[in-house]
Amino acid sequence: MRIRAAVLEEFGSPLVVQQVDLAPPGPGEVLVRLKACGVCHTDMYTASGADPSGYAPTVLGHEGAGVVEALGDGVDSLAVGDHVVTLFSPQCGECVHCRSSKTNLCLAIREQQNLGYLPDGTTRLSRDGEPMRHFMGTSTFAEATVMPAIALAKINPDADLEKACMFACGLSTGLGAAMNTAKVEAGSTCVVFGAGLVGLGAVAGCRLQRAERIICVDLSEGRLELARGQGATETMIGGDDTVEQIVEMTGGFGADYTFEATGNVKVMRQAVESARMGWGLCTVAGVAGRGETLDIIPRFLITGRRVCGSSFGGVKGRDQVPQLVDRWLAGDLDLDPLVSHTLTLDEVNRGFELMEEQAGIRSVITY
């Protein structure tokens, strides 16, 4: 079939919306008609050429939500008409990581996905007969996509897909960082650095875990306002003295749990140093720039602070994204303030501009 898609032709240049060919789903694969897709930093990072593993041409996009339109052979976990969220982090259920409760990093299709191929090493996307690689196994800046069934989470059909697409990346990452990775305990004190979609998700996750204090740090007063809406009990503008301020606000010790959701390695260091001696846990969710390293004074670790990273919030997508969506539908989460702009596919580059201007939290493309 022919679909319209936003193609990264050349690093550093705007995406070009055009017709491309999409082959039918092969064994274990699913054709999804997309309804919505969020515009995320990772798309822009790849488009800029800063990602050393990036390639072009490809169809970008990874925060998709849509409806199953056709099934390849052997797919029995989904049916035509199912509502799905796309998973750049799949869940095969069988690999050694899927069988462990300690990680969500499914190994089943990792290598091929990173190279831009579907699990069998080929692509369903093409142009003038030339194969074109997929992006993050998703390529959701398009009217439709073909993905492995293990990378699709079936969600409640009552969920509005224009908002549900946020569970495909940033929102689940933040929620999961608090709920899965850190497993915040009730009554604890948390600090969240960054109030983008990931940080706001972490604030909401701390609230759902019944943290007593949730301190959110950002550079933007507008974003801190949104953080209060998600459950932050205290907010502050970040700066060089943020650690001192947090230590002072927490009786001289620091917080039980800290979260970094900025991608800035200096802030990561602040998050480590704001964690409490004895048991403070710092969870790093931000993606640092190429070659950057995180400086930690070893004394902070010896005195009982711990640091861990979190990819997609430790969320096992097929099992847990539907659960998170259900919590939203039950009224535990308010996503309305998070979608700031609704765009058409032709306006995809505007989505990148809005992100650079930090205008709103998420721009969502609707199809």
Ligand X SMILES: NC(=O)c1ccc[n+]([C@@H]2O[C@H](COP(=O)([O-])OP(=O)(O)OC[C@H]3O[C@@H](n4cnc5c(N)ncnc54)[C@H](O)[C@@H]3O)[C@@H](O)[C@H]2O)c1
Contact residues for ligand X (CB under 6 A)?
41, 169-170, 173, 193-199, 217-220, 223, 238, 261-264, 267, 285-287, 310-312
31 contact partners, CB below 8 Å, separation of at least 6: 22, 24, 25, 68, 69, 70, 71, 144, 145, 146
Q: Work out how close the CB of 250 gets to ligand X at its nearest, in angstroms, rounded to a whole number.
A: 17
The rounded distance, in Å, linking the Cα atoms of 170 and 88 is 12
98 binds, among ligand X, Zn ion, none (CB under 5 to 8 A by kind): Zn ion
Nearer to ligand X, 28 or 201 (CB): 201
22 binds, among Zn ion, ligand X, none (CB under 5 to 8 A by kind): none
* Positions in 7-66 near Zn ion (CB under 5 A): 40, 42
Residues facing 283 on adjacent strands: 259, 308
**Does residue 169 bind Zn ion (CB under 5 A)?**
yes
From the candidates 37, 169, 206, 282, give the one annotated as an active-site residue: 169
Start-to-end CA distance of the chain, whole Å, equals 16
From the candidates 33, 97, 110, 213, give the one annotated as an active-site residue: 110
Query: Which candidate, 83, 213, 93, places its Cα nearest to that of 153?
Result: 83
262 binds, among ligand X, Zn ion, none (CB under 5 to 8 A by kind): ligand X
Nearer to ligand X, 211 or 361 (CB): 361
CB 156 within 8 A of CB 329: yes
108 binds, among ligand X, Zn ion, none (CB under 5 to 8 A by kind): Zn ion
From the candidates 134, 269, 305, 362, give the one annotated as an active-site residue: 362
User: Is 282 part of the annotated catalytic residue set?
Assistant: no
User: Is 42 part of the annotated catalytic residue set?
Assistant: yes
The rounded distance, in Å, linking the Cα atoms of 131 and 281 is 45
User: Is 40 part of the annotated catalytic residue set?
Assistant: yes
* Positions in 135-154 near Zn ion (CB under 5 A): none
Q: Which two tokens stand for residue 97?
A: 């990581």
Give the β-pairing of 2-8 and 58-59. Answer: antiparallel
User: Is 37 part of the annotated catalytic residue set?
Assistant: no
Nearer to ligand X, 98 or 285 (CB): 285
User: Is 95 part of the annotated catalytic residue set?
Assistant: yes
The rounded distance, in Å, linking the Cα atoms of 51 and 8 is 13
Q: What is the dihedral of CA 93, 94, 96, 99, to 10 degrees?
A: 50
User: Is 169 part of the annotated catalytic residue set?
Assistant: yes
Nearer to ligand X, 41 or 306 (CB): 41
Nearer to ligand X, 73 or 357 (CB): 357
Interface map 67-96 toward Zn ion (x if CB under 5 A): -------------------------x--x-
From the candidates 41, 97, 213, 341, give the one annotated as an active-site residue: 41
Helix or strand (DSSP H, E) at 127:
strand 125-127
**Before 57, cis peptide (omega within 30)?**
yes
Interface map 104-123 toward Zn ion (x if CB under 5 A): --x-x---------------
User: Is 308 part of the annotated catalytic residue set?
Assistant: no
Q: Which two tokens stand for residue 166?
A: 């946020």
Nearer to Zn ion, 246 or 355 (CB): 355
From the candidates 95, 213, 327, 366, give the one annotated as an active-site residue: 95
CA 160 remoteness from chain centre: 18
CB neighbours (10 Å) of residue 170? 27
The rounded distance, in Å, linking the Cα atoms of 213 and 255 is 9
User: Is 110 part of the annotated catalytic residue set?
Assistant: yes
Asked whether the CA dihedral 310, 283, 196, 293 is positive or negative, the reply is negative
**Does residue 189 bind Zn ion (CB under 5 A)?**
no
Residue numbers annotated as active site: 40-42, 62-63, 92, 95, 98, 106, 110, 169, 362
Residues that bind Zn ion (CB under 5 A): 40, 42, 92, 95, 98, 106, 108, 169
